[in-house]
Structure 1
Amino acid sequence: MNKPDQLVIVHGFLSTPRHHWFHWLKSQIEKKSIEVILPRMPFPRAPKPDQWLSHLKASVPLPSRNTWFIAHSLGCVTLLQYLASQNVTVGGIVLVAGFADPVPGLPELNQFTQAGIDFQQVKACTHHRIILQSLNDDVVPNYLTETLSSSLSAELYSFPAAGHFRALDGFNQFPALMAVLKDYF
């Protein structure tokens, strides 16, 4: 297995790289001499799929099998669209509180899921697929994350009480994520 030399962290709806555990994770991974890209996705309070996808493509123009991605919530859908549109193979993806179908109560995000995801293409281009869910997520229902895990044939880690993995839920740091990554990084 190739050791990653690049990690891309994709934040979600209503957040920026400064929020939650993103900056903490960046500093932890950089200590391992791995480049970390943490793009600020455009207009996170009023996101548009085409803008997010083109921004991610511009931020990570040449991923390789030594590139890993970690995405949170809405960032997961964007990442999956990005991977399905690239002709590359990457080391792995970690999707935290991810979904690929409409989220009840958040119709403003439906435009991200309307196009659908080419799961076969994503599986073909990712060596490792890992999904983290919280059993008490109050934003993304568990069935959406479990459906995503099944569609990707991903390894699924369930946390009993992590909410939506936000700072509000106590996630300014995320040591459990580092524990999941220890076998790869």
Structure 2
Amino acid sequence: MRGFLLLHGYGNHRPRGHWQRWLAGQLRHRGERVRYPQLPDPDDPQPAAWLDVLDAELDELGNERVVVCHSLACSLWYLAACTGRLSRPADRLLLVAPASPSVLSELGLARFAPELWKANVLAASARSSVRLVASDNDPTCPEAPAAELYGRPLGLDAETLPGAGHLTTADGYGPWPAALGWCLNPAARFASGAPGS
């Protein structure tokens, strides 16, 4: 049985218009098993509390585990991987708009990034594929597009979406059919699927 775990980022209270909430609804409508937890204290997140929720939610998924992380949840996933908190890897992993270490530090969230990401650690956290999708003008990754900062050094399948900001509702990311497409078919690409199309 397949299960999807959607993990939100910093300051996200799972608003109705957000693409992850839309995605959860679309997957459930198709009969998929979906977990979309509200992580504790999103405006003042603590790694231990978020890791505890991640542990519990992963245990509720089926045999095939598909994980979709946005923003700070990308760092949460890596933190779980590098500290040995993952009981077993995801089958597929989607990282959307990870923030840079400098921004995490500025926001007081450096504890979510105890080390520079390592390719072998991230690769071991997912059985078949890790996909990275981010923008070329994300304010939470000002040094370089995430595809260059994370994707290339880590050997990830990375796609850059032009002018998509941090991929939030403010950037036009409510309904996002390309995200649904990837959930249902890991070969699907994001670059051709604008939000709302």
Offset at residue 172 of structure 1 (A): 1.5
* Aligned counterpart in structure 2 of residue 30 of structure 1, from 10, 28, 36: 28
User: Quick check: 1:134–1:163 contact (8 Å CA) kept in 2?
Assistant: yes
**Residue of structure 2 equivalent to 1:21:** 19
TM-score norm. by structure 1 comes to 0.85
The answer for the alignment partner of 1:148 in structure 2 is: 150
The one of 71, 76, 82 aligned to 2:80: 82
In the alignment, the residues of structure 1 paired with residue 22 and residue 184 of structure 2 have an alpha-carbon distance, to the nearest angstrom, of 16
1:138 is aligned to 139
Aligned mates of 1:165, 1:104 — CA distance in 2: 17
- Map of 1:92 onto structure 2: 92
Q: Distance in 2 between matches of 1:53 and 1:151?
A: 26
Tell me if 1:120 matches 2:117.
no
* Residue ranges of structure 1 left out of the alignment (5+ in a row): none
Aligned equivalent of 2:3? 6
Report percent identity of matched pairs: 23
5+ residue gaps, structure 2:
188-197
Which residue in the other structure is 1:160 paired with? 162
Partners in 1 of 2:56 and 2:182 — Cα distance? 28
Contact 1:133–1:142 under 8 Å retained in 2:
no
Q: CA deviation at 1:117?
A: 4.6
CA RMSD of superposed structures (Å): 2.5
TM-score when normalising by structure 2: 0.80
- Following superposition, the deviation at residue 36 of structure 1 comes to 0.6
Secondary structure of the residue aligned to 1:164 is: coil
Structure 2 Cα separation of the partners of residues 38 and 112 of structure 1: 20
Q: Measured at CA, do residues 121 and 65 of structure 1 come closer, stay the same or move farther in structure 2, by a change above 3 Å? A: farther
AA paired with 2:113?
Answer: T
TM superposition shift of 1:61: 2.2
CA distance in 2, matches of 1:29, 1:161: 27
User: Residue 16 of structure 1: CA displacement?
Assistant: 2.0
Q: Structure 1 residue 60 and structure 2 residue 55: aligned?
A: no
SS in 1 for 2:78: helix
